[in-house]
């Protein structure tokens, strides 16, 4: 008499155990597949691409040049951060669904549990709304590629070079070496000085009596000489420097302007080199620099 009763009790238990095991196994398999897919997307997104200087000049090179190593690291960090967030979201959705399915198989009422979790989530959301705001702002900042490691930005609260970017904070180091930790949710506008390309401009004041064609030709020679040097043309300057001509005229000076398009954050270096070469060329031609 006991055996049929025992069998009648064991059979449903075994069925429940098999069903629960299948749910858990399927959830783990789906989670693993999702993580592998996200990992593949992250690797593809962070893969090496043509250099920035090459792209700006329309040349398909793949060797990192100048700040392209920083650009590649920025792309890799952004892809890995987004990948980490996507993996966590996938795990929460898949495992959460599996837990609810298991509870349903065990005849546990889910509706009150979901209601309690919802109320708890609302309470936590009100208490941590600033943290949630920071995370959401960080997600959009990464997705839109507003700035990254190595960029020089004006974040309102501070101006400096980005040293680290997370979903919650951005770490900057200003010109004095001071480190700033800025919550992403407090950044309302960003001025990026390192995105795409930069421009170096040099104003050259010469005496009012100087011959304009001579000065223009001299500045053009200096610009062409710098453009033809591989050290600058291959990795720093992305377009041929131009002599824009006379920028200002006063009773004592004529000011010429020379411009060069560079890769991000290298405009100061190019401007210093231009000033050095222009000064030497003016001295050789005995052209007086105005005060």
**Strand ranges inside the chain, DSSP E:** 152-154, 159-165, 169-173, 179-183, 191-192, 198-207, 242-249, 253-262
Per the listing, tokens 């993580």 go with 35
* Token pair listed for 173: 């180091």
Provide the residue-wise pLDDT of the chain in tens; the chain has 291 residues.
Answer: 445 555 566 666 777 788 888 888 998 999 999 999 988 888 887 665 555 545 555 554 444 444 455 566 667 767 777 787 788 888 888 988 888 888 877 777 777 766 776 776 676 666 667 877 888 888 888 777 788 777 888 888 888 888 888 778 889 998 888 999 999 888 888 888 777 788 889 999 999 888 899 999 999 999 999 999 888 876 788 888 999 888 888 888 999 999 998 887 788 889 999 999 999 999 999 988 887
Strand order in the sheet with 179-183: 179-183, 169-173, 159-165, 152-154, 191-192
> Which one, of 153, 142, 147, 215, lies nearest residue 180 by Cα?
153
CA dist., res. 187 & res. 171, Å (int): 12
CA dist., res. 226 & res. 238, Å (int): 12
CA dist., res. 240 & res. 267, Å (int): 14
């Amino acid at each position: 008499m006991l055996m049929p009763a025992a069998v009648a009790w064991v059979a449903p238990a075994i069925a429940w155990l098999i069903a629960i095991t299948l749910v858990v196994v399927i959830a783990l398999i789906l989670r693993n597949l999702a993580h592998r897919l996200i990992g593949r997307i992250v690797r593809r997104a962070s893969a090496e691409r043509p250099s920035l200087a090459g792209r700006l000049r329309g040349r398909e090179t793949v060797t990192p040049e100048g700040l392209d190593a920083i650009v590649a690291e920025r792309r890799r960090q952004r892809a890995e951060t987004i990948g980490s967030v996507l993996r966590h979201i996938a795990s929460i959705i898949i495992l959460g669904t599996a837990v609810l399915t298991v509870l349903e198989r065990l005849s546990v009422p889910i509706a009150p549990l979901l209601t309690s979790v919802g109320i708890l989530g609302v309470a936590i959301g009100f208490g941590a709304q600033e943290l949630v705001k920071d995370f959401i702002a960080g997600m959009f900042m990464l997705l839109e590629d507003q700035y990254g490691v190595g960029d020089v930005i004006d974040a309102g609260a501070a101006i400096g070079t980005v040293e680290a970017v997370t979903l919650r904070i951005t770490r900057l180091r200003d010109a004095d070496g001071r480190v700033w930790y800025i919550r992403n949710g407090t950044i309302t506008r960003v001025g990026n000085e390192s995105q795409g390309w930069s421009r170096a401009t040099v104003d050259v004041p010469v005496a009012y009596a100087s011959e304009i064609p001579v000065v223009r030709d001299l500045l053009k020679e200096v610009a062409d000489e710098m453009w033809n040097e591989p050290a600058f043309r291959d990795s720093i300057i992305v377009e041929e420097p131009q002599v824009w001509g006379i920028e200002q005229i006063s009773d004592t000076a004529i000011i010429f302007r020379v411009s060069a398009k560079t890769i991000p954050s290298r405009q100061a270096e190019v401007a210093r080199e231009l000033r050095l070469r222009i000064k030497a060329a003016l001295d050789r031609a005995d052209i007086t620099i105005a005060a």
